[in-house]
Amino acid sequence: MNKHLPFSQRHFRPFNCAFALSLVALGFASQHAAATTINISLDDDPGKLDPTQSSMIVERIVYQSIFDKLVDLDENGKIVPMLVQRWSVSPDQKTYTLTLQKGVQFQDGTPFNAKAVEFNLLRGQGKTSLRRNELKYIKQITVIDDTTLKIELSEPFAPFMSVLTDRAGMMSSPAAVQKYGDDYVNHPVGTGPFVYKGRLKGATITLEKNPHYWQAGLPKVDGVTYKIMSDVNVAFNNLRSGQVDITNRFPYKEISNISSGANYTVINQPSLGFRGFYLNTGKPPFDKPEVRQAIDLLIDRNAIAKVVYNGAVAASHSPFSKAQFAHGDTDAPPKVDLARAKALLQAAGKQDGFSFRLTLPTTPYETQVGQMIQGMLRPAGISVTLEKAELATQIESGKAGTYEALFVGWSGRPDPDQNIYDFAVTNGSLNYSKFGNKELDDVLQQARLSGDESKRKALYDQAMQILDKQIPYIYLNHDNVLFGIARSVKGFHYVPDGVIRTATLSK
């Protein structure tokens, strides 16, 4: 038998239920509406999502969200703790003792510990790893306990901790690597602030917030979506319309056109990298240093910086930008000197001039640089033919030595060694100029062995004095870190390695 309820209860109980359900629905909708995603445009489609297989800067940008590193860089380019809480180095500079953060997990729930670090470093040394040269000096790894390990090097290597601020120091889940095998490149698992959810090749890469991230209060948003936009102007229009929050490239011509009321701004700061072109010293006419010196004296680097890059680069004459401790007076480019260049050509038996082929990237900016170089060399009787090639083709040509002049730059690394050694030492992996000099080799090796920054700076000055006379590579400029960023984005921190870090971003 039903009890008789008061009128108010009989008529309002269904209403109360409906009202409660409405509140739940509104709460869900509110949570859903509050979900925030940072949209970042990339000018190229990342290839393999595995740090051991990476060769592209856009891959490094995506990795920063998925993988933490053993150590990181701060806004001044200094090495700071990350997964490694602290470290010490033996007096002979050969033994590194690392103490790890406690309580860190990979995104698949497995523990991050000293054994995981050992696994990653050994994997990085593997034959198929592109990090093997960076880690080749590791002789032995000893796991002391879950949060401590000792790394012994075969010889002192001053850039070692710097190497660990990039892909060689990014930690993958051993369980995920073993589970997916060769397909791990499509299933990346790290300890980072965001979890990989999937990609549409050539279009998007989608990440979601890591709810168990070890750094308290981070990340600030619910997800990150990378949108592939190879055309810098398309990316810029998407920034203006609010479809993207950050662009990893920004049109040089627009730098000076930003109004005070614009909904975006630009990050325009010195990077660690450099641009320029190799001269093949293994073939005439660039087998003669006088010819190389003449080319060097004919190029007006400041004009190129102003006309092509709208001042968003620094004219240069070395691989060391102002963001590096090795930067010095040798970075100041020489004044154009046609008379001196002609005298050098005459000394080399090339007083009547010559012709050569300059292989360029496919971008419109580098095409314009090539055209300006054509005009600058013409008064000395030097004819330049421009040829375009994709980066992979350029690299193969550089390795094989089948080019005459090759325009290839470098995104830069925090330690100076990584900007000069492999490029200039005899038989270096990036020495496409095929240049060799025993004195230079010795100086660069000494710089690797010393842990004293002031001594290393003096050695790099000495190395540049040699290169200034030999000119196997024509340094043109140091590119700036140039990002477009919506004013609604908060928490962005500029780091001179040119990589966007997402953990602290909000909007």
pLDDT one digit per residue (tens) for the chain, 507 residues:
333 434 334 443 444 444 444 444 444 444 444 689 999 999 989 999 999 999 888 999 999 999 999 999 999 889 999 999 999 999 999 999 999 999 999 999 999 999 999 999 999 999 999 899 899 999 999 999 999 999 999 999 999 999 999 999 999 999 999 999 999 999 999 999 999 999 999 999 999 999 999 999 999 999 999 999 989 999 999 999 999 999 999 999 999 999 999 999 999 998 999 999 999 999 999 999 999 999 999 999 999 999 999 999 999 999 999 989 999 999 999 999 999 999 999 999 999 999 999 999 988 899 999 999 999 999 999 999 999 998 878 989 999 999 999 999 998 999 999 999 999 999 988 999 999 999 999 999 999 998 899 999 999 999 999 999 999 999 999 999 999 999 999 999 999 899 999 999 999
Among residues 186, 212, 242, the one where a domain terminates is: 186
Shared domain check, 389 and 294: yes
Among residues 161, 186, 211, the one where a domain terminates is: 186
**What CATH number is associated with residue 130?**
3.90.76.10
Q: Is 46 a domain residue?
A: no
Instruction: Return phi, psi of residue 73, to 5°.
Output: -110, 145
Q: Is 501 a domain residue?
A: no
Q: Which domain holds residue 276?
A: 272-480
Q: Long-range CB contacts (< 8 A, 24+ apart) of 400-404?
A: 401/280, 401/282, 401/283, 401/432, 401/434, 403/278, 403/280, 403/357, 403/359, 403/432, 404/279, 404/280, 404/283, 404/286, 404/356, 404/357, 404/358, 404/359
Shared domain check, 277 and 143: no
Q: What is the pLDDT, as a whole number, of residue 184? A: 98
Q: What is the pLDDT, as a whole number, of residue 491? A: 97
Q: Is 249 a domain residue?
A: no
Q: Locate tokens 């900016």: which residue?
A: 365
Closest by CA to 224, choosing from 499, 51, 35, is 35
Shared domain check, 452 and 355: yes
Q: What is the 3-state secondary structure (H, E, C) of 157-177?
A: CCCHHHHCCCHHHECCCHHHH
Bridge partners (DSSP) of residue 359 are 387, 406
- Report the amino acid identity of residue 129: S
Q: Is 178 a domain residue?
A: yes
Write out the two tokens for 364.
């419109």
Q: What is the pLDDT, as a whole number, of residue 429? A: 85
**What CATH number is associated with residue 471?**
3.10.105.10
Q: Is 495 a domain residue?
A: no
Q: Is 340 a domain residue?
A: yes
Shared domain check, 473 and 349: yes
Shared domain check, 174 and 287: no
Shared domain check, 471 and 344: yes
Among residues 159, 186, 213, the one where a domain terminates is: 186
How many structural domains comprise the chain?
Answer: 2
Q: Is 27 a domain residue?
A: no
Shared domain check, 307 and 182: no
Q: What is the pLDDT, as a whole number, of residue 34? A: 61
> Nearest 10 degrees: CA dihedral of 39, 409, 387, 428?
-130
Shared domain check, 465 and 320: yes
Burial class of residue 41 in the structure, from the number of CB atoms within 10 Å of its CB (0-12 exposed, 13-18 middle, 19+ buried)? buried
Q: Is 94 a domain residue?
A: yes
